[in-house]
Amino acid sequence: MFPERLRALRRGQKMTLAELATALNAQPDADITTRKNTAAQIGNWERNLRTPSYLEVRKLAEYFNVTTDYLSGRADQEEYDLGRIFLSGKPLTFNAEQLSSEDRYELFQLMNGYLHGRQQRAIPSASGQEELDLHFDD
């Protein structure tokens, strides 16, 4: 389970093995481990030829913002807190375009306003379609 999840997370970020190794080595707590991560090492993990230490799994989990239980297959990642993701320092992209700090903040505010304003939205009619009142005065 671990090799498949690691590969899926890495490919989901469209990262090469070398890019992931570089990113892991740049993490603030990278000095906890005595050796630097390499592309070959991560490739061995993904092919299930080697097993990473707990510290390495923890670094991966922190980097991908998942739990160690998810990486090991003990739990499914069913929920992501978008607020935490938007406010984290991790690079975010949308449709292959990197979001700036300002973009992230604006999108966070937009989603936050949408969720807080949903109480004021109309209830769906009997036909199952929601009425939309844009508050235009004639």
pTM over 0.85: no
Token digits of residue 22? 């570089």
- Are 19 and 59 within one domain? yes
- Tens of pLDDT along 32-74? 556 789 999 999 999 999 999 989 999 999 898 888 888 888 7
Residue 86 structural domain: 82-120
Which class for 6: exposed (0-12), middle (13-18), buried (19 or more C-beta within 10 A)? buried
- Are 89 and 33 within one domain? no
By three-state DSSP, how is residue 114 classified? helix
**CATH number of the domain residue 51 falls in:** 1.10.260.40
Do 59 and 33 form a contact (C-beta atoms < 8 A)? yes
